[in-house]
Amino acid sequence: MFRFQSVWRLEWVVSTSLDNADALFLLLNGLGGIILAESVTVADLVKNTRLDVYHGAELLADKVITTSDISRPGLALTGYFNYYPRERVQLLGKTETAYSKNMTHDERLMIFRKMCQLTTPAFVVSTGLPVPAELVTAGQENGVPILGTKMTSSRILSNMTNYLEGKLAERQSVHGVLVDIYGLGVLITGDSGVGKSETALELVKRGHRLIADDRVDVYQQDEQTLVGEAPKILSHLLEIRGIGIIDVMNLFGAGAVRQDTDIDLIVHLESWTPDKQFDRLGNGEQSRRFFDVEVPEISVPVKTGRNLAIIIEAAAMNFRAESMGYDATKVFDDNLNSLIKENSAQDSHK
């Protein structure tokens, strides 16, 4: 099993000789590997959740966030520090700031000094509330940045949690191609050389959007949602045998790519053999499990003359129709049963 650091050593990749092409392929693809979670700095949090920096702007790039949990330090303000989660971002809202106003200057300074630990990433004051002067002092003494926002506590708590969960979630590396087809995330899998990248290129030409080629980093966003994205080093790139690596965004425009998408359907490409049985009615239910999420899967035989791009396009549209309650297989069964009843009725009258 391969494990990857979140920061790629691009110099090593550039200097890799053609003789090491196989090793490079394994490094970039990491077949089935579990990828170490990305590190997130307070600077990243500020940029992606629209926070304002009140104090400690010079500290943002060095303060690392290691958990997606956000702390509402109400108990800590009362002086109870037995289970104080110092490694979390601390969020102060109306309740916390109102309580602190009933404390004396010395009490506030003592409490905030205890709360501002070296491992504390940052404090966030919501709802446009004024920042206590004692918090600023304690933050400056211990190197903890003070942030703020006009958003309510509930809104900024949700925004920060969603962002941090996405960035810090455990990721699994999957060998395949991820394409957005009519708004559905379709993960195309199959053996190497079966035609996944060529099919993705045809889909891009038909107006769909590429997310990742060869290696897809997958993580669980919540109990029902699986998200796929490309590793930074492979973003917007597509490898076509005989041509090499092409930049999809450069050739087809920004509308031909996406950074990430939910994975709604898996299409597995298999080389056709006479002894292999494939589903012909669409009533075979398959799925593949990633983390705690089951994703529907269909198998498509690959044979000379078959237009895989159109087939996968149709599979995506059919999946959407089924999600909306229309089942073509059920319609066929109903028609067949009606025909049998009709023929039986005619036979009984003879």
Phi/psi at 331 (5° precision): -60, -45
- How many CB atoms lie under 10 A from the CB of residue 171? 24
How far apart, in whole angstroms, are the C-alpha atoms of residue 121 and residue 62?
A: 9
Angle at 267 between CA 33 and CA 323, to 5 degrees: 115
CA 326 to mean position of chain CA atoms: 29
DSSP reduced 3-state for 292: coil
- Looking at the annotation, which residues are catalytic? 175, 196, 214, 280
CA 61 – CA 83 distance, rounded (Å) = 27
Q: Are strands 64-65 and 52-55 parallel, antiparallel or unpaired?
A: unpaired
Which stretches does DSSP call E strand in the chain?
Answer: 34-35, 40-41, 52-55, 64-65, 70-71, 89-92, 123-125, 146-148, 171-175, 177-181, 184-190, 209-212, 215-220, 226-229, 237-240, 244-247, 260-262, 265-271, 286-290, 293-302
